[in-house]
Amino acid sequence: MVMKSNKILKFGAVSGIALPVLFGIILTLAIFLNPWFSFYRNALSDLGSLKVPTRYVFNCGLILMGLFGILFSLATVKYFESTVMYTFTVAMIFLIAVGIFPEEYGKIHSIPATLFYIFSLVGIFYAGILLKKRGELWFSIISIVGSVVTFVLMILTIGKMGLAIPEMIGAVFILSWIVAVSYKMLKEIREKD
């Protein structure tokens, strides 16, 4: 049973570490193929618009990230020993929905896009509470304060510039946290082996 649990953690952790790499490749390629894109005038979803001939790069990339994210989320449920961490699974399902339904779908696109960030940040906040119970104070503070500050920064920057800026603020924090937890999982697995 421990071996199976370790495999789930290892596979999920590797998936988590792959997420920012995937995001970097997908975003760079999508922007390269669409030089009109501006972080100050556009939303990231504009790269996946039905009007964009290369939309499949961005949209399929989001779906792939969502699938990797689900693998990571299942590992967090085991790692934190809490079903509340399924909030990450739900967040990743919303990310997949964003890739399936481009912005022209209206609320079918915008609601999952918003809920992806909300569920991810709620998951990180709750993980911070669990980390505090484990006595991991610094990581707990980073998780709790970071999720709140990120949410506030996203809200404050909406409407002041392109939607891509608040989206990137959220994405950078969420992905950084995922990588930190993934490394933590792998380190603990190595120590047990």
pLDDT value of position 60: 97
Average predicted confidence (pLDDT) for the chain: 93
For tokens 């792998």, the residue is: 186
Give, for 112, the enclosing helix (H) or strand (E).
Answer: helix 107-133
Contact 62, 101 (CB under 8 A): no
pLDDT digits (tens, 9 = 90+) for 146-182: 999 999 999 999 887 789 999 999 999 999 999 999 9
How far are the Cα atoms of 2, 77, 111, 156, 158 from residue 87, in angstroms, in the given order?
24, 9, 16, 24, 24
Residue 96: the pLDDT is 98
